[in-house]
Amino acid sequence: MRVDKMIGNAKLDTRRNIKRNAKKGALVINGEIVKDSSTQVDPNVDEVFYMGEFVEYFDNIYIIMNKPAGVLSATVDEEETVVDLLDDFYQMLDLSIAGRLDKDTTGLVLLSTDGKFVHKITSPNSNIEKTYEVETKDTIDESFIEEFKNGVEIKEEGYIARPAKLEIINEKKAIVKVTEGKFHLVKRLFSNLGNEVVSLKRIAIGDLKLDPFLNEGAYRELNEDELELLLD
Ligand code: URA
C-alpha cells in the first residue's frame, strides 16, 4: 500500500500534510529518509516513522451481521443499534453501515471502517444489487413483475424507482432485487401497487450471500474471498 495511506489509516495526518512533510524529511522507511509520500510499503514488513513517531498499521475491518428485527441500523442512538450488538473491541472502531435496514427488517448488514467501501456498496452508481426475501399481506399479482421491470412510481415521494427484479416464489412470497437504497424502497414498491410487505429480509448484497450459519444478531469479519466478491 502507499505509505501516505498507511499513515492516514493510523490517523496521524492528512495526505496533503504527509506529502509536504515527507518532502521536508519527516518520513523514514526502514531507516532511510524517503521524500515521496506515494512510495509503496508492505505494512507488515516495512518499518515506518512519520515525524519521529512509529506508524502502527491499522487494517480496515469488514463485518457481516445478520440483523435481528427491533434493532436500529445506526451507529449511535438512544434505542438499541446494530453497533450495540458488537463486542467492545469493535464498538471502539469508527464503523459505518453499508446500507441501512428498517428497524423491522432482518438480514444482511455490512459494517466497515473503510469509507470508500461503504460508499461503493451504497452508491446507486455502483449498481450493486441488493436481494430481499419478501412476504406480503395479499397475493402477489403476476403483473407486478412487469411493473417492477418498468420502474414503479413512488407517489408519496414523487419519483420513479429504478427497474427492479421480482421473482414470485408462491402466492405471498417473492425475491426482489434492487440497485438503489432509498428509504423503505421495497415496502414502497409493493404499497404503490396496492399490496403490503409484512416481512422483509435482505439475503444478499451483490454476490455476497447472507451466511446461513449466522444466527440473527450474530456477526463475524468477512473473509478474503467474501471481500473480493464486493471489491471487484
Ligand atoms: N426496503 C425497505 O423497505 N426496507 C428495508 O429495510 C430495506 C429495503
Q: What is the per-residue pLDDT across 172-225, written as a single tens digit (0 to 9) for each?
A: 999 999 999 999 999 999 999 999 999 999 999 999 999 999 999 999 999 989
Helices (H) and strands (E) in the chain — how many of each?
7, 15
Residue 10, pLDDT score: 80
Q: What is the per-residue pLDDT across 7-29, written as a single tens digit (0 to 9) for each?
A: 987 878 888 999 999 999 999 99
pLDDT band at 31 (very low <50, low <70, confident <90, very high): very high
Is residue 184 in contact with ligand 1, taking CB distance under 6 Å?
Answer: yes
Q: Whose CA is nearest to atom 4 of ligand 1?
A: 184
Residue 203, pLDDT score: 98
Query: What's the gap in Å between 61 CA and the centre of ligand 1?
Result: 25
Q: Which atom of ligand 1 is nearest to the CA of 187?
A: 3
Is residue 101 in contact with ligand 1, taking CB distance under 6 Å?
Answer: yes
Which of the residues 46, 84, 102, 211 is marked catalytic? 102
| Grid coordinates belonging to 169 | 416464489
Query: What's the gap in Å between 201 CA and the centre of ligand 1?
Result: 8
The alpha-helical segments, DSSP class H, found in the chain are 3-9, 15-23, 88-91, 115-122, 143-150, 185-191, 224-231
Q: Whose CA is nearest to atom 3 of ligand 1?
A: 184
Angle, CA of 70, 192 and 146, to the nearest 5°: 115
Is residue 201 in contact with ligand 1, taking CB distance under 6 Å?
Answer: no
Is residue 187 in contact with ligand 1, taking CB distance under 6 Å?
Answer: yes
Look up 13 and say whether it is catalytic.
no
Is residue 105 in contact with ligand 1, taking CB distance under 6 Å?
Answer: yes
Query: What's the gap in Å between 73 CA and the centre of ligand 1?
Result: 11
The pTM of this model reads 0.81
Statement: residue 232 has pLDDT above 70: no
Query: What's the gap in Å between 187 CA and the centre of ligand 1?
Result: 6
Cα separation of the two ends of the chain:
17
Is residue 109 in contact with ligand 1, taking CB distance under 6 Å?
Answer: no
Is residue 134 in contact with ligand 1, taking CB distance under 6 Å?
Answer: no
Phi, psi of 159 (to 5 degrees): -140, 160
Q: What is the per-residue pLDDT across 44-55, written as a single tens digit (0 to 9) for each?
A: 899 999 999 999
* 153 dihedral zone (left: phi>0; alpha: psi -120 to 50; beta): beta
Q: What is the per-residue pLDDT across 40-79, written as a single tens digit (0 to 9) for each?
A: 999 889 999 999 999 988 788 999 999 999 999 998 889 9
Q: What is the per-residue pLDDT across 86-135, written as a single tens digit (0 to 9) for each?
A: 999 888 888 999 999 999 999 999 999 999 899 999 999 999 999 999 99
pLDDT band at 231 (very low <50, low <70, confident <90, very high): confident
Residue 96, pLDDT score: 95
Phi, psi of 2 (to 5 degrees): -70, 145
Q: Whose CA is nearest to atom 2 of ligand 1?
A: 184
